[in-house]
Amino acid sequence: MTHDLVITGAQVVCPGGISACDIGIAHGRIVTLGNGLTGAEVIDATGLIAMPGGIDSHVHIAQPSGPGVEMADDFASATRSAACGGNTTIMPFCLPEDGQTLREAVVAYNAKAEGQCLTDVSFHLIVKSVDSVTLGQDLPALIGQGLTSFKVFMTYQGMRLTDGEILQVMDVAREQGALTMVHAENEDAIEFLRDKAERDGRTQPVHHARTRPVPVEREATHRATTLAEIADVPVMIVHVSNGAALEEIQRAKSRGVRVFAETCPQYITLTADNLDKAGFEGAKWVCSPPPRDMEEQAAIWAGIEQGAFDVFSSDHCPFRFADPAGKDAPGARASFRNIPNGIPGVETRLPILFSEGVSKGRISLETFAQITATNHARIYGLEHKGSIMVGKDADIVLWDPALTRPIKQDALHHGSDYTPWEGFEVTGWPVRTILRGRTVVKDNTPVGEAIGTHVARAKPEVTP
Ligand code: URP
Ligand code: ZN
Ligand code: ZN
């Protein structure tokens, strides 16, 4: 059999282990894994590692972010950045504007993404209000169309749901076989601490971290997993930042609750001290939950090493720093309360984990593939993605494990004007990103057309 494309010479990270085979690709799919394959095009990948293309299942793109505030990425820049960072699929959120239904929001986000994307895209929903149209019509219809997961927030004014509302949403998830993702932080506790800090004049960016301490997340994680237990549904706790929250997850699992856990690069590499820079600069690291300290980083690493985390995502939520439509929003210098939450990271997620995890010997290549691609596909129902296996989409990234260079804003492709990891030394970079058999990035340069498309998903595997 001849192929459209053959990749030879790489160490191939397959679900069953690492293999020194060729990868034969035809019509965008992997059709042969073997030796001596022939093809119309051959890529000699000697000395490189062939990984399943990264799936980043937690990114925010072009979301409404408050009056006058704009996210730094549209779908063109976000997917360009994602592909340069070794991703072939991203999973952004559809957030309805005020007065818009969820179904209208999905139409609007598809229009924003159409024809713009260098990676494939599969949307989650955000449920920020609980009404009969959302619960009774929109969610069932959208789940039926393959948007089989949605996020609910226990924090952020205007977004948070009450416990009773979360239970109602989880009940729809149970009936329809969808997965609920929870942002677990206790808004009332944050509000209490925030008001007090402002009254005392503690308004600098670092107080964002100090008014969202670990117990705020630990309590909400306990509550979220308990609500899932009561509703009898699986739940994904997103962006877990500390050991105490992880313990709540482990405790719930030991009671038989089906809890999945996600963590992100910021919780293994950054600390609250980053927010404590002189003047306003700490705003660059304002995200929720905030980065913690070295002890919590160690707890998150222990969780990664022990398999407690199912997925490692970026929570890419990019704003520009030197911009009144970004971190420097009106009122942000007067109080951390007004600093838009979120940091850019879709391009640096995989290099950071490869370097800190694989290159430093903390995790294997197989674990890296699982928590950056395979598990995302399995849990969220991306049937043709996430593994180098015959029958899957030929979403493959070639990594140079020996390439060492620091992260530099100048070399990134996102729309933000800074990276929280400026100067961070990384060993192991993606050098070629292949989406459905076509090269979309080579040597850190986007090439080719915006062939990314929306991918509908099956029901999550965890559904009873
Ligand atoms: O600060 C963050 N993480 N912003 C993005 C929205 C969210 O909560 O995930
Ligand atoms: Zn969140
Ligand atoms: Zn997020």
Q: Does pLDDT of 27 surpass 90?
A: yes
Task: Please report, for residues 191, 269, 277, 353, the alpha-carbon distance to residue 285 in angstroms, rounded to integers and kept in the order given.
Answer: 20, 12, 10, 19
Q: Same structural domain for residues 93 and 183?
A: yes
When the pLDDT of each residue in the chain is averaged and rounded to a whole number, the result is 97
- Is 67 a domain residue? yes
User: How far is residue 114's CA from residue 440's CA, in Å, rounded to a whole number?
Assistant: 17
pLDDT, tens digit (0-9, with 9 covering 90-100), for 266-282: 999 999 999 999 999 99
Question: Which runs of E-coded beta strand occur in 225-300?
Answer: 235-237, 259-263
> What integer pLDDT is reported at residue 463 of this predicted model?
54
Question: What atom in ligand 1 is closest to the CA of residue 317?
Answer: 5
Are residues 157 and 57 part of one domain? yes
Domain presence at residue 370: no
CB-based contacts of 126: which residues, under 8 Å, 6+ apart? 93, 94, 95, 96, 150, 151, 152, 153, 159
Number of structural domains, the chain? 2
Residues with Cβ within 8 Å of 78's Cβ and at least 6 positions away in sequence, in order, are: 59, 61, 62, 90, 92, 316, 318, 346, 414, 415
Q: Which ligand is nearest to the CA of 58?
A: 3
Lining ligand 1 with CB less than 6 A are: 60, 183, 287-288, 315, 317, 341-342
Q: How would residue 1 be classed by pLDDT, with cut points 50, 70 and 90?
A: confident
| CA 153 / ligand 2 centre spacing (Å) | 7
| Residue to substitute in 239, 241, 292 for testing ligand 1 pocket (most ligand atoms within 8 angstroms of CB) | 239
Q: Ligand 1 mean position to 153 CA, how many Å?
A: 10
- Ligand 1 atom showing the smallest separation from residue 151 Cα: 9
Check whether residue 394 and residue 322 sit in a common domain.
no
* Atom number in ligand 1 closest to CA 286: 1
**How far, in Å, is the centroid of ligand 2 from the Cα of 464?**
26
CA of 126 to the centre of ligand 2 (A): 10
Cα of 118 vs centre of ligand 1, distance in Å, is 23
Contacts for 205 with CB less than 8 Å, ≥ 6 apart: 275, 276, 277, 280, 281, 282, 283, 285, 286, 336, 339
User: Which residue in 4, 112, 73, 14 sits closest to 452, CA to CA?
Assistant: 112
DSSP 341-399: P-B--TTTHHHHHIIIIIITTSS-HHHHHIIIIIHHHHHHT-TT-SS--TTSB--EEEE
What's the 183 CA to ligand 1 centre distance in angstroms? 8
Instruction: Give the closest residue (by CA) to ligand 1 atom 4.
Output: 342
- Residue 383 falls inside a structural domain: no
- Domain of 397 in residue numbering reads as 3-51+388-446
Burial of 279 (0-12, 13-18, 19+ CB in 10 A): exposed
Q: Please choose, from the candidates 76, 57, 29, 42, the residue with its C-alpha nearest in 3D space to the C-alpha of residue 124.
A: 57
Ligand 1, atom 5, residue with closest C-alpha: 342
For 61-67, what is the mean pLDDT?
93
Distance 345 CA to ligand 3 centre (A): 11
Question: Rounded CA gap, 323 and 70, in Å?
Answer: 10
402 and 440 housed in the same domain = yes
Residues 143 and 247 in one domain: yes
- Is 161 a domain residue? yes
Instruction: Mark whether 64 and 41 lie in a shared domain.
Output: no
Q: Are residues 302 and 157 in the same domain?
A: yes
Residue 454: pLDDT over 50: yes
Secondary structure (3-state) at 247: helix
- Contact indicator for 72, 284 with CB cutoff of 8 Å: no
Please give the distance of CA 256 from its chain centroid, rounded to a whole number. 26
User: Residue 219 has which token pair?
Assistant: 């309590």
Radius of gyration of the chain (CA): 21
pLDDT beyond 50 at 190: yes
Lowest mean pLDDT among 34-48, 49-63, 89-103, 449-463: 449-463
What is this structure's pTM? 0.98
Of ligand 1's atoms, which has the minimum distance to the CA of residue 153?
8
Handedness of CA 262, 268, 269, 272 (dihedral sign): positive
Among protein residues, the one whose CA lies closest to atom 8 of ligand 1: 288
Contact 198, 210 (CB under 8 A): no
How many Cβ atoms sit within 10 Å of the Cβ of residue 4? 17
Hey, which of 56, 58, 60 would you mutate to test ligand 1's pocket, going by the most ligand atoms within 8 Å of its Cβ?
60
Q: Give pLDDT, residue 317.
A: 98
Domain of 303, CATH number, reads 3.20.20.140
Give 355-379 pLDDT, tens digit per residue. 999 999 999 999 999 999 999 999 9
Nearest bound ligand to the CA of residue 289:
1
- Tell which atom from ligand 1 comes closest to the C-alpha of 58: 9
DSSP-assigned states of every residue in 143-202: HHTT--EEEEESSSTTTB--HHHHHHHHHHHHHHT-EEEEE---HHHHHHHHHHHHHTT-
